[in-house]
Structures are given as structure tokens and as C-alpha cells.
Amino acid sequence: MADKVLVLVGTKKGLFIAESDTARKDWSLRGPYCEHWPINHAIADPETGAIYAGGGSEWFGPAVWKSDDLGETWSHSSEGLAYEEGKEPVSQVWSLARRNGTLYAGVQPAGLFSSADGGNSWSHMDGLQKHPTRPDWNPGGAGLILHSLVPDPDDDGRIWVGISAAGVFGSDDGGKTWETRNKGTRADFMPEDQRYPEFGQCVHCVVKAPGMKDRLYQQNHCGMYRSDDAGKSWVSIEPGLPSAFGFPAAAHPRDPDTLFLLPLNGDSVGRYMPDAAAAVYRTRDAGETWQDLRNGLPQENAYFGVLRQAMATDSLDKAGVYFGTGGGALYASNDEGDSWVAIAEHLPAIHSVETVVVG
């Protein structure tokens, strides 16, 4: 069977799946799945085709949904996806990731869970709760959420998380112990002499660059950054971008120097496309220079935002790039951002976009 590309679109009212052959010119859309639950993030296992969708229902609480048949049928579970009695209960699943047969889930209030049986049951990785800074974590606008979840695909011990608004944390021992990884990132909302704290930064998205052991990129509430030492220190890569504010970041599938960002106009001036004209920004040199990519994107009246998990690349050559807006439009590029088309419009507010190529 020929390969096909699935774009998994988590929305406020369920999961949608856009599907195309590898040319990525003609798309079909199906859904909504997951009983219209708000889905914050969905991923797929390219080896098995299993799709996992995490979210939380105002009625029914948090769960991870699973489909083994590319979305035709679904089951859901939150067995073990819970803090101990008396603690503030888990309200939503915010992020999912997989590595070597283990599935990870980041939740609200911020914490990390793992599953060794494909999401049927979960165990709390409580090391993060034992970090000495934990009592002083404060929520961001969306709550105290663990939204960025980055296991190192080449090192089972290493994992990074981004928590709004506690900052970035890294573990080298599989999640047993954690360190803050925020050196060099700003907290512009703090008093002038406290703008580089150990933790408390409002991280929006952390991604790992492929093929370089220690390179990470970060979109923050206050700036865009690169780290070449596994998050131990960060350098600003903002020059050449229209603002220091945005939500998502998407790494290239193979080139560690290529990154895609979607800067918004600023945190206090509406949080929409700069000058209401949409552009994805791409670097080919690890953030030294930036190119705005506008071909096919609306260049007037673009008053939309794009959330932290709502941009992704695919694994094909040339890489596809995709993003979904708060207004329910899904844009796709099959040429690494050089040109764009809207492949869905009028969806519910889009929370997340991920891709998988399956046979």
C-alpha cells in the first residue's frame, strides 16, 4: 500500500484527521473523533499506526484516547492517570510523546505520567513533583500545564519538559530527578532585577533538533532561543523576527539548523499575525537569519493566533509543514514552507497539529 500522510488535528471539539498521499496536494478530512472531547494533543506511532489523543472533558475529566485502525474506532483510558487522593485532581492531558514502546503524558496540574502498555494504564513519574521548586510553580494563562514533552529519541535517560509557567526542566536519569534548564531565558514580566530567574519562565514550546545530540529550540513568551548544551544554557535567536512573542516551534525532520516559527505581533497587542498578515518564519542557519514565508497565506485581515502545539513538520523529503489556527483553519506546505494552502477551514479552535506517515 502506498504511503499516506495523516495530519492529526486536536481541537476544542474533538480530533480531526487530514489525509493525503505523499504528494500532499489533495487532502481529505475526517472526524470529529473522541466524542467531541477537547483534544489538546494527538500523536501517532509510525511503526504500528496507533493514534493517541490526549485531552479532558469538562464533564468526564482527563483521558488518553487510542485508535489502532487509523481512527475508525477508539477506546479511552485514564487508569492510573491520577494524583493521590486529596491532591488537586488531574483535569486534562496536555501533551503526549512516545519512545521505544513507552508512552508519556503531560497533564494539568503539571505532572508527568508514563504507560508501558500502549496507554491502557498509566503510572505517575513523581520525580518532577519532588523538585525543590515545585511549591513555587505558578500557572500561566492556560493553567499550570505540562505542554512540552521531549524524550530524547537516542538516549533513554534524557527527557525535557516545558511547564507554563515554571519553565524548562531536564532529566538525565529517565525522569527520576530533574534540573531547571532556563539559564539565558527571560522573564520580562518580572521586576527588572529578576528577569533571569532559575525557574518561572513562561516557556511556550520546546523541540529537539534532529541529528545533534544537545540542540534544543524554544519559543518562549519572552523570546526565541536555541540551546546547544541540552538546555543548560540558551541564546536568543530573535534578531530578524518581527516580535519576541509566539507559541509554536517546529523542527525540521533531518536538518538541525532548520526551524519554523510563527511569531505573533506581541503579548499585549492582540496576539495575532504581525500587521494582520500571516507568515511562517524559517531559519536555515540555526537562528542566525530568518526568512518570512507568505506564499499562499492570507496577507490581510489575518487576526488569528496559533497555539503552542499547533505547528508540525512531516518526515518526507521535502518536509511538509503544517499549522492550525485558533479560528479553525489548517494550512499545509509540501515544500518546507515555500508555498502554502488551506486544507481545512471552519474547524473548531485548533489546539495541536502532528503528523505521521504510514504505509
Residue numbers at the binding site for other proteins (CB under 8 A)? 35, 58-61, 63, 76-79, 82-87, 89-90
Geometric angle at alpha carbon 313, from 180 and 246, rounded to 5°: 50
CB of 31 to other proteins, least distance (A): 16
Do the beta carbons of residue 208 and residue 252 sit within 8 Å?
Answer: no
* Closer of 38 and 175 to other proteins (Cβ): 38
How many CA atoms, within 13 angstroms, populate the side-chain half-sphere of residue 320? 27
Q: Rounded to the nearest 5°, which phi and psi values hold at 34?
A: 65, 35
* Closer of 79 and 198 to other proteins (Cβ): 79
How many CA atoms, within 13 angstroms, populate the side-chain half-sphere of residue 337? 24
CB of 28 to other proteins, least distance (A): 26
* Closer of 61 and 210 to other proteins (Cβ): 61
Classified as helix, coil or strand, 33 is strand
Spatial CA neighbour of 208 closest among 253, 274, 174: 253
Classified as helix, coil or strand, 319 is coil
* Closer of 13 and 183 to other proteins (Cβ): 13
CB of 351 to other proteins, least distance (A): 14
| Separation of alpha carbons 232 and 246, rounded Å | 22
**DSSP assignment letter at 184:** T
Cell numbers that stand for 269 in this block: 497587542
CB of 100 to other proteins, least distance (A): 27
- Burial group, residue 237, by CB count within 10 angstroms (0-12, 13-18, 19+): buried
* Closer of 126 and 172 to other proteins (Cβ): 126
CB of 9 to other proteins, least distance (A): 19
CB of 81 to other proteins, least distance (A): 8
Write out the E strands in 58-99.
61-67, 75-77, 92-99
**DSSP assignment letter at 250:** E
* Closer of 112 and 312 to other proteins (Cβ): 112
CB of 256 to other proteins, least distance (A): 41
Neighbouring residues of 313: CB distance < 8 A, sequence distance ≥ 6? 250, 251, 252, 253, 260, 319, 320, 321, 322, 355
* Closer of 86 and 191 to other proteins (Cβ): 86
| Separation of alpha carbons 16 and 322, rounded Å | 14
| Separation of alpha carbons 3 and 106, rounded Å | 30
CB of 123 to other proteins, least distance (A): 15
* Closer of 86 and 359 to other proteins (Cβ): 86
* Closer of 77 and 102 to other proteins (Cβ): 77
Buried b (16+ CB within 10 A) or exposed e, 132-146: eeeeebeebebebbb
CB of 2 to other proteins, least distance (A): 32
Residue 250's DSSP bridge partners are 260
